[in-house]
Amino acid sequence: MAYTKEEIHAIVQKQRSFFRTGRTLPIGWRIEQLKKLKQAVVSHEEAFEQALSADLGRSAAEAYLCDIGPIITEINETIRSLRRWARPEHHFSGLMCFPSTKTTVYKMPYGVCLIISPFNFPILLTLGVLTAAIAGGNTAVIKASAKSAACTAALKDFIAEVFPAEYVTLIDGGHDTADLCLSERFDKIFYTGSPSVGKHVLACAAENLTSTALELGGETGNWCIIRKDADLRDAARKIAFFKLCNAGQICININQIAVAEEVAEDFLQELKAAFTKQIGACPAENEEYPKLITQAAYDKCAALADSCRDRIIFGGTGDRENRRYAPTLIYPVRADEPIVQRELFCPLLPIVPFKDSEVQPLLDLIAEREHPLALYLFTKDLVWAKAVMQTQQYGGGCINEVCIHMMVKGVPFNGTGHSGMGAYHGEWGFREFTHPSTVLTGRTKLNLPLREHPYTGKAGKRKLQLLRKFER
């Protein structure tokens, strides 16, 4: 459906009018909406699985593991904890504010929110963000991706069935429609996608000084470092699983591996074996293996692989009609080559050898580039690994593991700089969709004239003496 500027403006205005009624403010009402959302997700599980299969070739198990299951978990956590998260905070006002003793911080909703969701996890990254918006007491306009057409159609029917349009509505369409949405004045914008589009979203938001959260992939990709003391078989098994997942179309996926040259050959043999064991010798013929989102995405992946054809040591084949391209190892690759200075978002995996004794220059190189969304380290030296994780700049990551840091309850998820701003999941999502409002309750008795003129003479000196005491 093609939307006009007037139609989108009308949608936003209806939501603004609904928000101003105060219906979204009571915590009990928000919990009711979250329960409705959860029940609807459960009842629409099969429809979502079919849509994810049509768009991305997901199996039912992968659809549940990566999209549907995490939503249910997120909603459950929010329902259980929302009253505690939303409880006003009470603070002692301090001697400087005497005779007032009570100051309260209320967690207030922003109002009308715009959620722009991506194609790679179209169900999770739409309804997961919506969960946080509802928990915060907001209304929401969702702009879903045109690339994942089946999922967007399923979500549009789903949202219309569960919520009235003046509370939550979903808009489909391409970039032109997204720009029409961005031309409206929203109170909060949450965008998930590429850094280049993130810059455009932020520029549009700046026109109205709209609070914005960006969940981006990182322009120069996420590194995985394999030290020479790593458990190579364990690392290979986990990396193979992760790179197969959604055919590499994951913002936190490993973009390139840096492996200590002392163990590079052994690691590569383990990684080849792990891929073959998990997906078979002909991934493009395996119905369990996900596919790239569009023919254009497939062609881009295949062309990049062809440009490195002489260094492909595994994979390098595909089925264009079915949009499946095999996991492909490219070795050796220098750290300064273009292929490791961009987000790939596909099954290609460049591998950069380095001397284990020269790991610090590698870390310095990573630090000089744009901050990644994720960082993964495989080593037995946990002292070194923890020191790295406390000094590098990145969104989140794992030591001797991949990706599952984002599945931990109660912890934030997002990047920094070119990999994002803001944070969400659980209470962090509630915080992202609320703003803290500080309210001091004054008194009409015993008000001292400390803050009032005169500030000179004996009275001024006495006031200054008292003020300095109060500030200690």
The residues annotated with a catalytic role in the active site are 215, 251
Q: What is the DSSP letter of 344?
A: -
Select from 41, 402, 55, 380 the least CA-distant residue to 223: 402
Give start and end residues of each alpha helix (H) in 224-285.
232-244, 264-279
Tokens in use for 379? 């080593």
Q: What is the DSSP letter of 321?
A: T
Q: What is the DSSP letter of 339?
A: G
**SS3 category, 256:** strand
**SS3 category, 453:** coil
Helix and strand numbers (H, E) in the chain are 16, 18
φ/ψ (deg, to 5) at 262: -65, -25
Q: How many other CB atoms sit within 10 Å of the CB of residue 249?
A: 23
Q: Are strands 374-378 and 223-226 parallel, antiparallel or unpaired?
A: parallel
In 197-210, which positions are buried (b, 16+ CB within 10 angstroms) versus exposed (e)? bbebbeebbeeeeb
Q: Are strands 434-441 and 102-109 parallel, antiparallel or unpaired?
A: antiparallel
Tokens in use for 448? 């001292």
φ/ψ (deg, to 5) at 51: -65, -40
Q: How far apart are CA 402 and CA 394, in angstroms?
A: 15
Give start and end residues of each alpha helix (H) in 332-456.
359-368, 382-389, 427-432
Q: Cβ contacts of residue 211 below 8 Å, gap of 6+? A: 110, 187, 188, 189, 205, 435
